[in-house]
Amino acid sequence: MASAVYNPIGTTALITGASSGLGVGYAHELAQRGADLVLVARRQARLEALAVELAEKYGTVSTVIPLDLTTTDAVTELVSDLRERAVTVGTLVNNAGFATFGTVLDSDEAREREQIALNVHALTALTHALLPDLVETASLHPHTAALVNLASTAAFQPVPRMAVYGATKAYVLSYTEALSYETRASGLKVTAICPGPADTEFFEVAQTRSDKKGTPLTVDEVMRASFAALDRSVTPAVVLVGTRNALLARAAGIFPRRAVLGAVGRLNVPRRAR
């Protein structure tokens, strides 16, 4: 397939969850490609340090917006702030998200609500608010605009002991695939990135371990897969990162649901309970 390099130079990209992990990776890649940035996360000091680093390394102008996207009016406040600054977003990376580990019976309901608020509600509301800008940018300047939603290989099957996380990522996957179809004539590049376990703060936040889930992906591996997809003339709606992860995700659609559920459930048994 012919290559059409994604070139966001002269546009602005907004990244949620930009203070660590994959968010930092996307910030560097987009800045290197010439985009100015809007960096959104809770940790202001980290965002400001990243903005300085990007300016020194790439000459990028970054707008830092410290914000907790789990709060009720967060997306409304964010969009209002962007309008006041006259910022038009050409690329949106919905990277912010987290997981909790444990059975539903033992879970903290308030924490689960926050997880749904961030992984689903904030992503949906921000996409809905900024989609007109993304589509307009794509129409006026081909190959400069993208919507990147971070899903997961957890989206392809139920995940016992991470039930809410798996369900939220299944939503992100389905939602993004539908958006990819709906906007197919606009030139907007829409994709759901589905990595397996990655070398980020994810497991620390989830309060579980990654050692029983194989060798984690590096941030660079996820970035290479993401931007290889964006550089295609027709960007795939779903990108599975890592050969093993892709095989496991596809296998989840082949084997009986009950067998897949049992296998994932056994994998997610805490080490001390084995």
Q: What is the DSSP string of 65-100?
A: EE--TTSTTHHHHHHHHHHHTTPPPSEEEE------
* CA 86 to mean position of chain CA atoms: 25
Strands 189-195 and 62-66: unpaired
Q: Which amino acid is at 2?
A: A
* CA 167 to mean position of chain CA atoms: 15
Is 6 considered catalytic here?
no
Ramachandran bin of 239, using left for φ above 0, alpha for ψ from -120 to 50, beta for the remaining angles: beta
How many residues make up the chain in this entry?
Answer: 274
Contact 45, 20 (CB under 8 A): no
Contact 35, 61 (CB under 8 A): no
Strands 12-16 and 91-94: parallel
Measured distance CA(126)–CA(44) in Å, rounded: 20
Q: Which of these is catalytic: 6, 165, 171, 181?
A: 165
The one-character DSSP state at 216 is: P
Provide Rg for the chain, Cα atoms: 18
Q: Active-site residues: which are they?
A: 165
